[in-house]
Amino acid sequence: MPVLVSFWGKGGVGKTTLSSAFALRLAQKGFRVYLISTDFVPSLSDVLDVDLSDGPKEVSRGLIVEQLTEEKIVELWKERFGEEVYRVASSIFPVDREIIDYVARAPGIVEEFTLYYVWHRFSTMNVDVVVWDTMATGGGIRMLRIEKEFYDHLGEAAKLYLKVKGVLDKIRRGESEPLVLIESWRRLAEDVFSFLRSKEHRAVLVSRPLRIDLNVARKIYAELKDTGIPLKALIVNMVSNQNKDILLSFEEEFKSKLGLITIPQRDSSPLGLDALSQLFSPEVWNMLQELVLFS
């Protein structure tokens, strides 16, 4: 089984840059790595300075990269689940195939399918490490809540189907496919939710030494802990002499809870593979890989 390392944080904290640098450094150390970004304000292509319009793409030896957009997620959902949803919906209501596009645009579908897609890639790709640049804070937390609600409610979906359609007679005649599909969705949601909480998944929280970012970090930490996701490290990015007082607040809040790593402020954001490969100092790299790969 590979290891999944996910990076969480609000927009603008350097999450995509740090996850890219981490994935690239692993690949340079001989690991086979798959880097996926599901941040729907896509910047991975700019950070790597590589065209990612068609992916996955191997951008350097051992590093495969994929950028997901919201539109791409919708199309992938329709390919994987569209026909199944149509078969279940049309067995209850007189609907045509337009129901597939309607459901694909329903609130929560993109977030829920994003988790399925990451889980699917993790389960099927021949790599050592999957590095996941998650959605910015609001989308990431919403993604977790929707997955939990989806998992909790799917057990009731079969009962609702029986009640609305009256399919007990159909089951006796062997026409139970919609119930089989609903049960398969429930098992799939259970697999995805278990995967998020497994020991193979290690989460990294990224923040900046700002008061508002500290408040956001508190919320993400609480959400991940409540969901049962193993959170291994907090990276406080863009540290300078001017914000050392806020850094002390981060240390007081988090140092006893998880590994805390600081990254100094840079004159400009590193862009391209060469610049990213030099982002982590030896001390930071050793600490980071110890926390997320070997702990």
Residue 95 lies in a domain: no
Residue 80 lies in a domain: no
Q: Give the domain range for residue 57.
A: 3-75+103-292
pLDDT digits (tens, 9 = 90+) for 174-231: 555 777 887 888 888 888 888 999 999 999 999 999 999 999 999 999 989 988 999 9
List of E strands, 109-165: 129-133
pLDDT band with cut points at 50, 70 and 90 for residue 36? very high
pLDDT digits (tens, 9 = 90+) for 102-129: 988 887 788 888 889 999 999 999 999 9
Residue 55 lies in a domain: yes
Residue 81 lies in a domain: no
Contacts with 42 (C-beta within 8 Å, 6 or more apart), sequence order: 67, 69
We report the CATH number of the domain holding residue 12 as 3.40.50.300
Residue 66 lies in a domain: yes
Domain count, the chain: 1
How many angstroms separate the CA atoms of 275 and 178, rounded? Answer: 52
34, 127 Cβ separation under 8 angstroms = yes
